[in-house]
Amino acid sequence: MMRQVELVDRVRRYNPETDEVLLNRAYIYAMKAHGAQTRASGDPYFSHPLEVAAILTDLHLDDATIVAAVLHDVIEDTESTREEIDRLFGPEIGQLVDGLTKLKRLDLVSKRTAQAENFRKLLLAIASDVRVLLVKLADRLHNMRTLHFVPPEKRARIAEETLEIYGPLAGRMGMQRLRDELEDLGFRHLMPDAYATITARLNEIGRCNNQRVASIEEEIAEALAGEGVAAQVHGRRKQPYSVWRKMERKHVTFEQVSDIFGFRILVDTHAECYRALGVLHTRWRCVPGRFKDYISTPKPNDYRSLHTTVVGPGRQRAELQIRTAAMHAIASNGIAAHALYKEGFTRDDSSLRSESRAFEWLRRTVEQLAEGSSPEEFLEHTKLELFNDQVFCFTPGGRLIALPRGATAIDFAYAVHTDVGNTAAAAKINGRAEALLTELQNGDQVEIVRQEGQLPPAIWETLVVTGKARSAVRRATREAMRAQYAGLGRQIVNRAFERAGRPLAEDRLKVALPRFARASVEDLYAAVGRGELFSGDVLKGVYPDIADERRTITALRPGAEAGWFAVRSSSHLLFHLPGASAETDWKMLAKRGCYPDLPVVFANGGALPGDRIVGILDPESSITVYPIQSPELTAYDDQPERWLDVRWDIKDDDRQAFPAKLEITAINEPGTLGLIATVIGENGANIDNIAMRPISREQRLLVADLEVSDVKHLSSIVAQLRVRPIVSKVERVNG
């Protein structure tokens, strides 16, 4: 374990002005706070924060960051508090440590939700102070270095999280050297067989090609020196995880991966980068389509370099990267390297923000936090942007838009502005009219043709690849649904007031809004449309003296077996069920719009207790019940007089079975169907029918007809299916 004096010495080597008293105080405080705690390896727990601090000293970070690393677990794992850290070490360090502390004592329904909430908190803290990210990545790196001491199940979860989130996040912030080690360790633990196989093949190729690589290095250096360009040339081998991802992404074998070796050329100035490129292209034939200029057009993570592939010495294809030493420092250490060109970090990191393009992506991501999406949606959107390589496109005015590889013109439109995406009707790519779903290529100039007043189709949510576009489409769909609910609610409230013979004035509704905890009349109408408020309650809120007349559906049974429509009033129950009798003036009820002799049937697709439901009246035959989300209801939009405001009247202990349908997208592998059936069965539901069809080589769509008791029952099944790794999507089907 690193001693106190060793920590101070490590910092003093690059910062002679370090605050030794502060470092010593943090060391002693953390050592006492962690006390006798131990890690899975049996080592004292305090050794972990010291190793995290050591990793950060290699990046030459400031005193506050090193102290935060030493203290980063004290709030989470000991009796220490944020207030105590603020008092002893100052609010700057307290804020850093708090940003690294996981959320506690939350009622989270799954580990996935907990992961999403903690990641959301982490990104917010990073947006406030980038040093939180540096400590977090160093923390994850040391945990990965000691992962072999962790039980296998937990080890797999941590390795998967590292490959899905922390490795790509390090890469998006430009910290490639740290990303490589994180992904190497994650790959080794998550897929040990694949890791061992690819590593063995790479080592074999390395042994066979050492001499050839050295020869190419020498020949490139001599060619440049002959033209007066001083350069350092280094051969490099592709990382195992990078090779595996390329094999997976392009569906190729190991032998078909052509860029196992590459060569990095370091020169002194920007101008010499282009001079070196000219020398090499003159000396050897370049491979068409393989040149990229990331100096004039840097990547979003600040990466700058010239990339080219030539048919080089010995007629061997060679990938070349040409950059300056300063560019190489940024390529290796990303945002951490920015500190090397400043006088250390300050409390105001605005200078880092202005010079780091990586912060542009981070700010865009954090903006989604204000969109009201769920933690799982936020994590999903962030992963989409973390994982993808980039393509660079331009607006007609020359503005550069960076997008993930595979992005379409729709993603481009939303990247320009949300309003542009929502109103996108067509696209012109390089002057030619193309479909909005056209996949974009590097250098494309894209013009979006807009049509005001239109809304994005809900299907776009499944077609776009950027988190911003997916979030915007989902939000627009929700707003459109809210408008639809508000329109329905307005009709229902109007009819309720008409039946009562009372005028409906929106100014009187505004006065009554506080009684219903609604901010606007539109919100009130939407609540009625969704079934959150009963129209009679709205009527009574405006006219308290009016009698309560409401109708409910009772003893409903699904399928062809019909229930009966019953009417409740404020004073008595009027009903007409087989074998029952009541002295009732049916004509009087009919005048009020009630038809007690009509059987009640369910529309196709069914409705569940807990659903917002409406009845469609056919005075000659029946009342048909639909869930409010049923697409079949659009056929009755122009017939508001047939809509009945109805409610469920099912007792809690009445365990009737109601039909429901789910569409489940799952991985095609042995045991998938059995696992899904087990989840459904363990939740007390019955599978009435199930069908399966392929949607790709790797995935299948299962359509399951179930019998459940209510919406809550179905939602529980859906939630438990969604957390299964083999399941990628679960949706309820209506109508």
Give the residue numbers marked as catalytic: 76-77
The single-letter DSSP state of residue 357 is T
For residue 696, which phi and psi values (nearest 5 degrees)? -165, 180
Amino acid at 704: A
DSSP string over 40-65: TTSSBTTHHHHHHHHHHHTTT--HHH
Q: HSE of 489 in the Cβ direction (CA atoms, 13 Å)?
A: 25
Q: Is the dihedral of CA 524, 530, 532, 535 positive or negative?
A: positive
Determine contact, residues 543/536, Cβ cutoff 8 Å: no
Determine contact, residues 610/711, Cβ cutoff 8 Å: yes
DSSP string over 268-307: SSHHHHHHHHHHHHHHSEEPTT--EETTTS--TT----EE
Determine contact, residues 6/70, Cβ cutoff 8 Å: no
Residue written as tokens 């962790």? 150
β strands within 405-559, DSSP E: 424-429, 432-434, 446-450, 549-554
Longest dimension (CA), the chain: 111
The three-state (H, E, C) secondary structure of 676-713, written as one string:
HHHHHHHCCCEEEEEEEEECCCCEEEEEEEEEECCHHH
d(CA 566, CA 551): 7
For residue 531, which phi and psi values (nearest 5 degrees)? 90, 10
β strands within 563-676, DSSP E: 563-569, 573-574, 599-602, 613-618, 622-627, 643-645, 648-649, 658-667
Residue 533 neighbours by CB distance under 10 Å: 21
Determine if residue 593 is left, alpha or beta; phi over 0 gives left, psi from -120 to 50 gives alpha, anything else beta: left
d(CA 48, CA 34): 11
Q: Is the dihedral of CA 175, 181, 184, 186 positive or negative?
A: negative
Determine contact, residues 129/99, Cβ cutoff 8 Å: yes
